[in-house]
Structure 1
Amino acid sequence: MPTDAKLLLLDRDVVEPALQAEQVMAAVREAFILHSRRAGRIFPVVREKLHTGGVFGIKSGDIASRNLLGFKAAGFWPANRGAGGEPHQATIALFDPSTGRPLCIMDGNAITTARTGAAGGLGLQQLARQDSTRICVFGTGVQARVQLQYALKLLPQRCTVQYVNVSGATDPAFEAAFHDRCAIGVAKDRNDAVADSDIVITATPGGGALFEAAAVQPGTHLTCVGADTDGKRELPDAVLQRARIFVDDEVQARSIGECQWAPSLPCTEIGDLLAGTVSFERAATDITVFDMTGLALQDLTVAEFLYRHAQTEHLGTSVAWPW
């Protein structure tokens, strides 16, 4: 066996600058289409609550045509906030599918944030009314920010944004990040904010319904991020029953996404829409929901281009890894 094999390590300072929006969107789009064509496999998801109060998960898969195999170990540790840390933690590993040898281990936090933001952006492009100008965002954390960034980037008109947070108070840092791209302010009433919006983004820990179902008006598009574990939800009862539902993966959505609360309702995988195997012509009064649980293939396609980029640019740290 070779004794001079190397393992490439890519930390946050290498990963973050390489995550350009256009490349990430292209990689995520490719992941959805590969999934639609069943040209890439996703393995059963591990998602378990821990005695520490955290949630630990593993998403893995492979793309045979690309000789790509890997997993992401990730989860949510809410107590990290008290220590000044990020509650979402993720690490991605790529392997040689011919030998099982690890090729690269990289920081997965920024990748998870970027690929989830790009997925929400692709869903918005496909499903939201393109004359949308009013956005309501639940949450002011990392994922709320990236979802709003993609929405403002992709919508052709200048938008008005209302945001809802736990305290109900103004969040100066959140507003400062967007004030030059939109008119933004904290919502006085969450139900009124939903009723007055064309697009609703829910990016919270998924602890329960965030608003009343009657607040959702005809023509609204909802991007739902926070329900990714058994028992989590952000939507109230009766919203899904009124909506055209789109998901990244039907099985995952029905087990850990918003669809776990209405598993018998029909839904469409977004990859089928992007691949052109199904069509959707939005009526002005349609309510659309994109229930995102996150695909391993998204992590793999993004991680692959980062790995190739690092090799080309001689980035990261290479360590001996004999086998």
Structure 2
Amino acid sequence: MSNALHVLTRSDLADIDITPGEVIELVEEGYLAYARGESRCPVKLMMPIPKGERDAVSYSMLGYDGSLDQVGFKTSYRQGSASAEKYYTTISLYDDATGLPFAFMDCQRIGAARTPATTAITAKHCAGPGATSVLMLGTGVQGRNTLPYLLTALPGLERLRLFGTHPDGIAESIATMRRYFPDREIELVDDVPSAVAHSDIVVVASGRAAHPRVHTEWLKPGGLLISVASKGVASGALRGADYAIATSVGQLGVTGTRLAGSNGEVVIDAELPDIVAGRAVGRRDDADRVFAFSSGMIITDIPVAHALATRAVAAGRGQRVHLWK
């Protein structure tokens, strides 16, 4: 056995095939293993960089996936929240069964897969009965995959709408949908409040959004609002909900406290892992306006990273580096 580390770049991983259905299954199993007590996921660390107008922030996450016996360390650094040009994220995997390092890899592809998978899982468990319409706000790296993932989890969705301001992001969102669902069309919208009011599921993954910040009260009765750690959701969105969930209350306390409103009190009715495991409900009533806060948990990054790394290594990608030689 070797203690060599497989180093996998963004280009090494770019064309490794993995379907939305496969990613959803991996992420859902990650939540289930955590709910069973087999995995560990401490709250992420966030550190703003105090350097004038630079607007930089760094994150770090550590976790253990008990279903795969893999330990993961993830780091992220972003300089300027209005652009992804200086956003760098990596993940390291270690095999807890053998005690050996496995992979060090770019994490952009992983986040672009597990984030929409979490959105799809949330919608599957928390959308109102008979949901047929969805509105996606944002066309960043993670948002571009969201609609096909939602359609994979909820094949009964009939109306797919999108708001975006970046032509490349809009084009990529449409191209991604056609890749997986060539017979489905995406409707572009410009009146966000009206589109929110007429959608069963609303996903907000916009940054410094060029749209009015979305209020939970705009939802129709029975609507579901999913915030992907988004600045496009109004402060106090939690208080406007009839039922509130989070992927993790601890993560919400790090990255989403503004959603509680002026008093800063964070009240969550259920966490997503418990809902997936059947220990909590996704909503109390069919008419509830449900707010869901989605923040990345490394227990969902690890299985997606492991699947991509395993396939990339089998395809001869990357480099083997003997750091400890």
Q: TM-score, normalised by structure 1?
A: 0.82
1:286 counterpart residue number: 288
Describe the shift of the 1:212–1:302 C-alpha distance in structure 2 as closer, same or farther (beyond 3 A).
closer
Describe the shift of the 1:48–1:264 C-alpha distance in structure 2 as closer, same or farther (beyond 3 A).
closer
The answer to whether the 8 A contact 2:71-2:94 is kept is yes
Q: 2:310 aligns with which of 290, 298, 308?
A: 308
2:242 counterpart residue number: 243
2:94 maps to amino acid: F
2:303 maps to amino acid: T
2:267 counterpart residue number: 265
Describe the shift of the 1:80–1:15 C-alpha distance in structure 2 as closer, same or farther (beyond 3 A).
farther
| Cα distance in 2, alignment partners of residues 221 and 166 from structure 1 | 23
**% identity of equivalent residues:** 24
Q: How many residues align?
A: 313
Moved more, 310-319 or 293-302: 310-319
The answer to whether the 8 A contact 1:127-1:282 is kept is no
Describe the shift of the 1:304–1:215 C-alpha distance in structure 2 as closer, same or farther (beyond 3 A).
same
Matches within 5 A, 1:183-194: 183-194=185-196
1:53 counterpart residue number: 55
Describe the shift of the 1:164–1:319 C-alpha distance in structure 2 as closer, same or farther (beyond 3 A).
same
| Cα distance in 2, alignment partners of residues 311 and 44 from structure 1 | 30
The answer to whether the 8 A contact 2:34-2:273 is kept is yes
2:31 counterpart residue number: 32
1:142 CA displacement: 1.9
1:66 CA displacement: 4.1
- The answer as to 2:16 corresponding to 1:15 is no
1:56 maps to amino acid: S
1:216 counterpart residue number: 219
Moved more, 105-114 or 11-20: 11-20
For residues 278-312 of structure 1, what are the alpha-carbon distances to aligned partners after superposition, in whole Å with 9 as ceiling and x for unaligned? 34466331222221111011111222233333454
| Cα distance in 1, alignment partners of residues 172 and 232 from structure 2 | 27
The answer to whether the 8 A contact 2:46-2:254 is kept is no
Q: 1:321 aligns with which of 299, 320, 323?
A: 323
| Cα distance in 2, alignment partners of residues 221 and 249 from structure 1 | 18
Describe the shift of the 1:181–1:143 C-alpha distance in structure 2 as closer, same or farther (beyond 3 A).
farther
Moved more, 40-49 or 204-213: 204-213
1:103 maps to amino acid: F
| Cα distance in 2, alignment partners of residues 306 and 211 from structure 1 | 35
The answer to whether the 8 A contact 1:175-1:185 is kept is no
1:87 CA displacement: 5.0
2:154 counterpart residue number: 155
1:318 maps to amino acid: R
1:79 CA displacement: 7.4
| Cα distance in 1, alignment partners of residues 194 and 265 from structure 2 | 29
Matches within 5 A, 1:118-129: 118-129=117-128
1:132 CA displacement: 2.1
1:164 maps to amino acid: F
Extract unaligned runs of 5+ from structure 1.
none
Describe the shift of the 1:165–1:59 C-alpha distance in structure 2 as closer, same or farther (beyond 3 A).
same
1:215 CA displacement: 1.8
For residues 218-274 of structure 1, what are the alpha-carbon distances to aligned partners after superposition, in whole Å with 9 as ceiling and x for unaligned? 1111121034xxxx5623435544331121112112332367525442321111121
2:3 maps to amino acid: A
2:233 maps to amino acid: E
For residues 194-238 of structure 1, what are the alpha-carbon distances to aligned partners after superposition, in whole Å with 9 as ceiling and x for unaligned? 1111110100126797134442221111121034xxxx5623435
Moved more, 63-72 or 109-118: 63-72
2:227 maps to amino acid: C
2:102 counterpart residue number: 103
What do you get for the CA RMSD once the two structures are aligned?
Answer: 3.2
Q: Secondary structure at the match of 1:49?
A: strand
2:187 maps to amino acid: G
1:162 CA displacement: 3.2
Describe the shift of the 1:124–1:214 C-alpha distance in structure 2 as closer, same or farther (beyond 3 A).
closer
Extract unaligned runs of 5+ from structure 2.
none
